[in-house]
Structure 1
Protein backbone atom coordinates (compact mmCIF):
# COMPACT_ATOMS: atom_id res chain seq x y z
CA UNK A 1 0.00 0.00 0.00
CA UNK A 2 1.28 3.48 -0.88
CA UNK A 3 2.23 5.90 1.89
CA UNK A 4 -0.63 8.28 1.01
CA UNK A 5 -3.14 5.43 1.37
CA UNK A 6 -1.63 4.42 4.72
CA UNK A 7 -1.88 8.00 5.97
CA UNK A 8 -5.49 8.28 4.74
CA UNK A 9 -6.37 5.00 6.47
CA UNK A 10 -4.79 6.19 9.72
CA UNK A 11 -6.50 9.59 9.47
CA UNK A 12 -9.85 7.89 8.77
CA UNK A 13 -9.71 6.00 12.07
CA UNK A 14 -10.62 9.16 13.97
CA UNK A 15 -13.07 10.44 11.34
CA UNK A 16 -15.90 7.90 11.05
CA UNK A 17 -18.79 9.80 12.63
CA UNK A 18 -20.98 11.58 10.05
CA UNK A 19 -21.23 14.77 12.12
CA UNK A 20 -17.47 14.93 12.62
CA UNK A 21 -16.91 14.37 8.89
CA UNK A 22 -19.40 17.13 8.04
CA UNK A 23 -17.61 19.52 10.40
CA UNK A 24 -14.29 18.60 8.79
CA UNK A 25 -15.60 19.28 5.28
CA UNK A 26 -16.31 22.86 6.35
CA UNK A 27 -13.59 23.56 8.89
CA UNK A 28 -10.47 21.95 7.39
CA UNK A 29 -10.49 24.14 4.23
CA UNK A 30 -11.23 27.24 6.34
CA UNK A 31 -8.36 26.49 8.73
CA UNK A 32 -6.04 25.94 5.77
CA UNK A 33 -7.23 29.25 4.27
CA UNK A 34 -6.70 31.08 7.57
CA UNK A 35 -3.15 29.75 7.90
CA UNK A 36 -2.33 30.89 4.36
CA UNK A 37 -3.97 34.20 5.26
CA UNK A 38 -1.68 34.62 8.27
CA UNK A 39 1.33 33.88 6.06
CA UNK A 40 0.18 36.58 3.62
CA UNK A 41 0.37 39.19 6.38
CA UNK A 42 4.07 38.66 7.09
CA UNK A 43 5.76 41.68 5.51
CA UNK A 44 7.56 40.72 2.31
CA UNK A 45 7.61 41.67 -1.37
CA UNK A 46 4.62 40.56 -3.40
CA UNK A 47 4.26 38.83 -6.74
CA UNK A 48 1.32 40.12 -8.74
CA UNK A 49 -0.46 38.61 -11.74
CA UNK A 50 -3.25 40.04 -13.88
CA UNK A 51 -6.75 38.80 -13.03
CA UNK A 52 -5.38 36.98 -9.99
CA UNK A 53 -4.07 39.59 -7.59
CA UNK A 54 -0.96 39.49 -5.48
CA UNK A 55 0.65 36.90 -3.23
CA UNK A 56 3.42 37.61 -0.76
CA UNK A 57 6.76 35.88 -1.20
CA UNK A 58 6.21 34.34 2.25
CA UNK A 59 2.91 32.83 1.06
CA UNK A 60 4.58 31.50 -2.07
CA UNK A 61 7.35 29.90 0.00
CA UNK A 62 4.74 28.31 2.31
CA UNK A 63 2.85 26.96 -0.73
CA UNK A 64 6.08 25.55 -2.18
CA UNK A 65 6.98 23.81 1.10
CA UNK A 66 3.49 22.33 1.46
CA UNK A 67 3.60 21.22 -2.18
CA UNK A 68 6.94 19.46 -1.63
CA UNK A 69 5.34 17.51 1.22
CA UNK A 70 2.40 16.56 -1.02
CA UNK A 71 4.59 15.61 -4.00
CA UNK A 72 6.22 12.92 -1.85
CA UNK A 73 2.76 11.40 -1.37
CA UNK A 74 1.11 11.90 -4.78
CA UNK A 75 2.02 14.05 -7.76
CA UNK A 76 -1.65 14.43 -8.78
CA UNK A 77 -2.71 15.48 -5.28
CA UNK A 78 0.16 17.99 -5.19
CA UNK A 79 -0.93 19.54 -8.50
CA UNK A 80 -4.57 19.70 -7.38
CA UNK A 81 -3.53 21.28 -4.07
CA UNK A 82 -1.44 23.91 -5.89
CA UNK A 83 -4.59 24.91 -7.78
CA UNK A 84 -6.65 24.93 -4.57
CA UNK A 85 -4.01 26.98 -2.73
CA UNK A 86 -3.85 29.46 -5.61
CA UNK A 87 -7.64 29.89 -5.46
CA UNK A 88 -7.35 30.37 -1.70
CA UNK A 89 -4.58 32.94 -2.26
CA UNK A 90 -6.89 34.85 -4.58
CA UNK A 91 -9.55 35.07 -1.85
CA UNK A 92 -6.87 35.98 0.70
CA UNK A 93 -5.76 38.81 -1.59
CA UNK A 94 -9.37 40.02 -1.89
CA UNK A 95 -9.77 39.82 1.90
CA UNK A 96 -6.54 41.74 2.50
CA UNK A 97 -7.46 44.43 -0.04
CA UNK A 98 -11.08 44.89 1.08
CA UNK A 99 -10.47 44.75 4.86
CA UNK A 100 -6.94 46.12 4.96
CA UNK A 101 -4.88 46.12 8.14
CA UNK A 102 -7.64 44.44 10.13
CA UNK A 103 -7.71 41.29 7.95
CA UNK A 104 -5.68 39.47 10.63
CA UNK A 105 -8.85 39.58 12.77
CA UNK A 106 -10.76 37.72 10.05
CA UNK A 107 -8.09 35.01 9.86
CA UNK A 108 -7.87 34.75 13.64
CA UNK A 109 -11.65 34.55 14.05
CA UNK A 110 -11.99 31.90 11.34
CA UNK A 111 -9.06 29.97 12.82
CA UNK A 112 -10.42 29.97 16.39
CA UNK A 113 -14.05 29.25 15.51
CA UNK A 114 -13.19 26.42 13.12
CA UNK A 115 -10.83 24.78 15.64
CA UNK A 116 -13.57 24.93 18.27
CA UNK A 117 -15.86 23.10 15.85
CA UNK A 118 -13.10 20.62 14.98
CA UNK A 119 -12.62 19.70 18.63
CA UNK A 120 -16.40 19.55 19.08
CA UNK A 121 -16.55 17.11 16.16
CA UNK A 122 -13.90 14.95 17.77
CA UNK A 123 -15.78 15.08 21.08
CA UNK A 124 -18.84 13.77 19.24
CA UNK A 125 -16.63 11.18 17.49
CA UNK A 126 -15.15 10.10 20.80
CA UNK A 127 -11.62 10.06 19.39
CA UNK A 128 -8.71 12.47 19.57
CA UNK A 129 -7.66 14.33 16.43
CA UNK A 130 -5.04 12.45 14.38
CA UNK A 131 -2.50 15.28 14.65
CA UNK A 132 -2.19 14.64 18.40
CA UNK A 133 -0.40 11.41 17.44
CA UNK A 134 1.59 12.88 14.51
CA UNK A 135 1.79 16.53 13.42
CA UNK A 136 1.98 15.66 9.72
CA UNK A 137 -1.75 14.90 9.93
CA UNK A 138 -2.34 18.67 10.00
CA UNK A 139 -1.39 18.58 6.31
CA UNK A 140 -3.16 15.28 5.65
CA UNK A 141 -6.63 16.64 6.50
CA UNK A 142 -6.97 18.79 3.38
CA UNK A 143 -5.78 16.06 1.01
CA UNK A 144 -7.91 13.45 2.79
CA UNK A 145 -10.92 15.52 1.70
CA UNK A 146 -9.43 15.95 -1.77
CA UNK A 147 -8.90 12.18 -1.96
CA UNK A 148 -12.65 11.68 -1.44
CA UNK A 149 -13.42 14.07 -4.29
CA UNK A 150 -10.91 12.41 -6.62
CA UNK A 151 -12.30 8.95 -5.85
CA UNK A 152 -15.86 10.19 -6.42
CA UNK A 153 -14.74 11.54 -9.82
CA UNK A 154 -13.05 8.23 -10.61
CA UNK A 155 -9.57 9.76 -10.68
CA UNK A 156 -6.68 7.71 -9.31
CA UNK A 157 -4.29 9.73 -7.27
Structure 2
Protein backbone atom coordinates (compact mmCIF):
# COMPACT_ATOMS: atom_id res chain seq x y z
CA UNK A 1 0.00 0.00 0.00
CA UNK A 2 1.20 3.50 -0.79
CA UNK A 3 2.01 5.84 2.07
CA UNK A 4 0.28 9.07 3.02
CA UNK A 5 3.01 11.13 1.39
CA UNK A 6 2.89 8.97 -1.74
CA UNK A 7 -0.81 9.74 -2.21
CA UNK A 8 -0.59 13.40 -1.20
CA UNK A 9 2.56 13.95 -3.26
CA UNK A 10 1.05 12.42 -6.38
CA UNK A 11 -2.14 14.43 -5.93
CA UNK A 12 -0.19 17.62 -5.20
CA UNK A 13 1.63 17.33 -8.53
CA UNK A 14 -1.69 18.34 -10.13
CA UNK A 15 -2.34 21.09 -7.59
CA UNK A 16 0.45 23.64 -7.20
CA UNK A 17 -1.41 26.83 -8.11
CA UNK A 18 -2.80 28.47 -4.96
CA UNK A 19 -6.00 29.48 -6.80
CA UNK A 20 -6.61 25.85 -7.71
CA UNK A 21 -5.98 24.74 -4.15
CA UNK A 22 -8.34 27.46 -2.89
CA UNK A 23 -11.04 26.24 -5.28
CA UNK A 24 -10.65 22.77 -3.79
CA UNK A 25 -11.40 24.13 -0.31
CA UNK A 26 -14.86 24.99 -1.61
CA UNK A 27 -15.54 22.45 -4.37
CA UNK A 28 -14.41 19.23 -2.71
CA UNK A 29 -16.49 19.63 0.48
CA UNK A 30 -19.50 20.40 -1.71
CA UNK A 31 -18.91 17.25 -3.76
CA UNK A 32 -18.36 15.03 -0.72
CA UNK A 33 -21.54 16.35 0.89
CA UNK A 34 -23.40 15.88 -2.41
CA UNK A 35 -22.32 12.24 -2.62
CA UNK A 36 -23.42 11.70 0.99
CA UNK A 37 -26.78 13.31 0.22
CA UNK A 38 -27.38 11.37 -2.98
CA UNK A 39 -26.31 8.03 -1.47
CA UNK A 40 -28.42 8.52 1.66
CA UNK A 41 -31.42 7.07 -0.16
CA UNK A 42 -32.45 4.35 0.21
CA UNK A 43 -31.90 4.18 3.92
CA UNK A 44 -33.44 3.13 7.18
CA UNK A 45 -33.16 4.27 10.74
CA UNK A 46 -31.78 1.67 13.10
CA UNK A 47 -30.95 2.48 16.70
CA UNK A 48 -30.89 6.21 15.98
CA UNK A 49 -28.51 5.80 13.03
CA UNK A 50 -29.42 6.27 9.37
CA UNK A 51 -28.10 3.23 7.48
CA UNK A 52 -27.67 3.79 3.76
CA UNK A 53 -25.21 3.28 0.89
CA UNK A 54 -23.62 6.58 2.00
CA UNK A 55 -22.76 5.02 5.37
CA UNK A 56 -21.04 2.09 3.68
CA UNK A 57 -19.01 4.38 1.41
CA UNK A 58 -18.07 6.63 4.35
CA UNK A 59 -16.99 3.66 6.45
CA UNK A 60 -14.79 2.35 3.64
CA UNK A 61 -13.27 5.80 3.08
CA UNK A 62 -12.69 6.34 6.80
CA UNK A 63 -10.97 2.96 7.03
CA UNK A 64 -8.70 3.92 4.11
CA UNK A 65 -7.82 7.29 5.70
CA UNK A 66 -7.21 5.76 9.13
CA UNK A 67 -4.88 3.14 7.66
CA UNK A 68 -2.89 5.89 5.91
CA UNK A 69 -2.52 8.16 8.93
CA UNK A 70 -4.22 8.07 12.31
CA UNK A 71 -4.38 11.85 12.88
CA UNK A 72 -5.66 12.75 9.41
CA UNK A 73 -7.86 9.65 9.48
CA UNK A 74 -9.64 10.76 12.65
CA UNK A 75 -10.26 14.22 11.19
CA UNK A 76 -11.57 12.67 7.97
CA UNK A 77 -13.84 10.27 9.88
CA UNK A 78 -15.34 13.17 11.85
CA UNK A 79 -15.89 15.21 8.67
CA UNK A 80 -17.47 12.21 6.94
CA UNK A 81 -19.76 11.74 9.94
CA UNK A 82 -20.95 15.35 9.54
CA UNK A 83 -21.59 14.70 5.84
CA UNK A 84 -23.55 11.56 6.72
CA UNK A 85 -25.61 13.56 9.18
CA UNK A 86 -26.34 16.19 6.50
CA UNK A 87 -27.15 13.47 3.99
CA UNK A 88 -29.53 11.78 6.41
CA UNK A 89 -31.30 15.06 7.19
CA UNK A 90 -31.90 15.69 3.49
CA UNK A 91 -32.72 12.06 2.67
CA UNK A 92 -35.90 12.16 4.75
CA UNK A 93 -37.13 15.35 3.06
CA UNK A 94 -39.20 15.46 -0.08
CA UNK A 95 -37.67 14.08 -3.24
CA UNK A 96 -37.35 17.52 -4.88
CA UNK A 97 -35.40 18.97 -1.95
CA UNK A 98 -33.21 15.88 -1.51
CA UNK A 99 -32.42 15.53 -5.20
CA UNK A 100 -32.11 19.27 -5.83
CA UNK A 101 -29.66 19.70 -2.96
CA UNK A 102 -27.61 16.66 -3.92
CA UNK A 103 -27.40 17.39 -7.65
CA UNK A 104 -26.97 21.14 -7.06
CA UNK A 105 -24.06 20.66 -4.66
CA UNK A 106 -22.49 18.12 -6.99
CA UNK A 107 -22.68 20.27 -10.13
CA UNK A 108 -21.61 23.52 -8.48
CA UNK A 109 -18.77 21.74 -6.67
CA UNK A 110 -17.43 20.34 -9.95
CA UNK A 111 -17.76 23.70 -11.71
CA UNK A 112 -15.63 25.25 -8.97
CA UNK A 113 -13.11 22.42 -9.33
CA UNK A 114 -12.78 22.94 -13.07
CA UNK A 115 -12.36 26.69 -12.63
CA UNK A 116 -9.44 25.93 -10.33
CA UNK A 117 -7.93 23.57 -12.87
CA UNK A 118 -8.30 26.26 -15.52
CA UNK A 119 -5.89 28.37 -13.47
CA UNK A 120 -3.65 25.37 -12.86
CA UNK A 121 -3.50 24.68 -16.58
CA UNK A 122 -3.65 20.97 -15.82
CA UNK A 123 -6.34 18.31 -15.81
CA UNK A 124 -7.67 16.96 -12.50
CA UNK A 125 -5.66 14.15 -10.89
CA UNK A 126 -8.51 11.63 -11.08
CA UNK A 127 -8.30 11.66 -14.89
CA UNK A 128 -5.01 9.74 -14.64
CA UNK A 129 -5.76 7.84 -11.43
CA UNK A 130 -9.26 7.29 -10.01
CA UNK A 131 -7.76 7.22 -6.50
CA UNK A 132 -7.62 11.00 -6.87
CA UNK A 133 -11.35 11.00 -6.11
CA UNK A 134 -10.61 9.50 -2.68
CA UNK A 135 -7.40 11.43 -2.04
CA UNK A 136 -8.91 14.83 -2.91
CA UNK A 137 -10.79 15.29 0.38
CA UNK A 138 -7.70 14.19 2.32
CA UNK A 139 -5.60 16.67 0.32
CA UNK A 140 -7.91 19.51 1.41
CA UNK A 141 -7.57 18.51 5.07
CA UNK A 142 -3.79 18.18 4.71
CA UNK A 143 -3.51 21.59 3.01
CA UNK A 144 -5.54 23.15 5.83
CA UNK A 145 -3.23 21.51 8.37
CA UNK A 146 -0.20 22.86 6.48
CA UNK A 147 -1.70 26.37 6.45
CA UNK A 148 -2.15 26.12 10.22
CA UNK A 149 1.49 25.10 10.66
CA UNK A 150 0.63 21.49 11.49
CA UNK A 151 2.24 18.33 10.08
CA UNK A 152 5.23 20.24 8.70
CA UNK A 153 7.11 16.98 8.18
CA UNK A 154 4.38 15.79 5.80
CA UNK A 155 4.27 19.17 4.02
CA UNK A 156 8.04 19.02 3.42
CA UNK A 157 7.81 15.51 1.95
CA UNK A 158 4.89 16.50 -0.30
CA UNK A 159 6.71 19.62 -1.52
CA UNK A 160 9.88 17.61 -2.09
CA UNK A 161 7.93 15.46 -4.52
CA UNK A 162 5.58 18.03 -6.09
CA UNK A 163 7.35 21.35 -5.52
CA UNK A 164 6.08 24.37 -3.61
CA UNK A 165 2.73 25.96 -4.27
CA UNK A 166 2.72 29.05 -6.46
CA UNK A 167 0.52 31.30 -8.54
CA UNK A 168 1.25 30.80 -12.21
CA UNK A 169 -0.27 31.97 -15.40
CA UNK A 170 -2.68 29.61 -17.11
CA UNK A 171 -0.67 27.34 -19.41
CA UNK A 172 -3.42 25.82 -21.48
CA UNK A 173 -7.12 25.26 -21.37
CA UNK A 174 -8.25 21.99 -19.88
The count of aligned residue pairs is: 150
* Unaligned residue ranges in structure 2 (runs of 5+): 155-174
Instruction: Give the equivalent residue in structure 2 for 1:83.
Output: 78
What secondary structure, in the 3-state scheme, does the structure 1 residue paired with 2:54 have?
helix
Structure 1 segment 3-152 matched on structure 2, within 5 A? 3-41=3-41, 43-47=42-46, 49=48, 54-97=49-92, 99-102=93-96, 103-151=98-146, 152=148
TM-score by length of 1: 0.84
| 2:27 and 2:110 in contact (8 A); partners too | yes
CA distance in 2, matches of 1:88, 1:116: 20
Partner residue, 2:150: 154
In structure 2, do the counterparts of structure 1 residues 137 and 26 end up closer, same or farther at CA, with 3 Å as the change threshold?
same
Alpha carbons 1:47, 1:57 under 8 Å: kept: no
Runs of 4+ in 1 over 3 A off after TM superposition: none
Looking at structure 2, the residues matched to 74 and 17 of structure 1 have their Cα atoms a distance apart, in angstroms, of: 25
Whichever structure has more helix as a proportion of its residues is: 1
Residue 153 of structure 1, CA deviation: 5.3
How well do the aligned residues superpose, as a CA RMSD in angstroms? 2.1
Structure 1 residue runs without a partner (length 5+): none
Q: TM-score, normalised by structure 2?
A: 0.76
Alignment partners' CA distance in 2, 1:124 and 1:19? 7
Contact 1:34 1:107 in 2 (8 A): yes
The Cα shift of 1:15 comes to 1.1
